Amino acid sequence: MSETTVDFSPAAAPLAERLLEPALEILTRYPAGRERSALLPLLHLVQTEEGHVSPSGVAFCAEILGINKAQVGAVATFYTMYKRRPTGEYLVSVCTNTLCNVMGGQEVYDQLSEHLGVGHDQTTADGKITLEHAECLAACDYAPVVTVNYDFTVDQATPESAVELVEGLRNGERPAPSRGARICSLKEMQYQLAGFADPRDGAVADGVAGAPTLRGVRLAQEHGIAVAGFDPDSPITKTKSPREGNALPQQQAADDKPAPSRAVAVARKAAGAVKAAAGAVAEKAGAVADKVGEHRHAGRTTVAGDVKDPEVRAAESRNPTGDTPGRPQTTTPEPTNAAEAAGVAGNKPAGDGKPAGDTRGNEEAK
Res 333: pLDDT: 66
DSSP H or E run through 90: strand 90-95
Whether the predicted pLDDT of 249 surpasses 90: no
Whether the predicted pLDDT of 165 surpasses 60: yes
Whether the predicted pLDDT of 310 surpasses 80: no
Using one digit for the tens of pLDDT, what is the confidence trace for 183-225?
Answer: 889 999 999 999 998 888 777 766 667 788 888 888 888 888 8
- Strand pairing category for 151-154 and 129-134: unpaired
Percent of the chain at pLDDT exceeding 90: 41
Whether the predicted pLDDT of 19 surpasses 80: yes
Cα–Cα distance for residue pair 59/258, rounded to 1 Å: 67
Whether the predicted pLDDT of 268 surpasses 50: yes
Res 39: pLDDT: 96
Q: Indicate the pLDDT class of residue 337, thresholds 50, 70 and 90.
A: confident
Cα 150 off chain centre by:
18
Whether the predicted pLDDT of 282 surpasses 80: no
Percent of the chain at pLDDT exceeding 70: 66
Which of 152, 146, 212 shows the shortest CA–CA distance to 182? 152
Using one digit for the tens of pLDDT, what is the confidence trace for 317-327?
Answer: 666 665 655 45
DSSP H or E run through 159: helix 159-170
What is the Cα Rg of the chain in Å? Answer: 35
Q: Taking residues 351-358, what's their average pLDDT?
A: 47
Res 245: pLDDT: 47
Q: Indicate the pLDDT class of residue 266, thresholds 50, 70 and 90.
A: low
Reported in sequence order, the residue ranges of 97-201 that DSSP labels E, i.e. its strands, are: 122-123, 129-134, 146-148, 151-154
Using one digit for the tens of pLDDT, what is the confidence trace for 35-94?
Answer: 899 999 999 999 999 889 999 999 999 999 999 999 999 999 999 899 988 999 999 999
pLDDT, averaged across the chain: 78
Res 4: pLDDT: 43
Query: Residue 293: CA atoms inside 13 Å, Cβ hemisphere, count?
Result: 7
Q: Indicate the pLDDT class of residue 5, thresholds 50, 70 and 90.
A: low
Using one digit for the tens of pLDDT, what is the confidence trace for 93-142?
Answer: 999 999 999 999 999 999 999 999 999 999 999 999 999 999 899 889 89
Cβ burial, residue 74 (10 Å; 0-12/13-18/19+): exposed
Res 67: pLDDT: 92
Residue 16 · residue 8 · CB < 8 Å: yes
Q: Taking residues 273-296, what's their average pLDDT?
A: 62
Q: Indicate the pLDDT class of residue 356, thresholds 50, 70 and 90.
A: very low
Q: Taking residues 292-310, what's their average pLDDT?
A: 52
Cα–Cα distance for residue pair 169/171, rounded to 1 Å: 5
Res 215: pLDDT: 86
Answer with the residue of higher pLDDT: 224 or 354. 224
Whether the predicted pLDDT of 329 surpasses 70: no
Res 361: pLDDT: 45
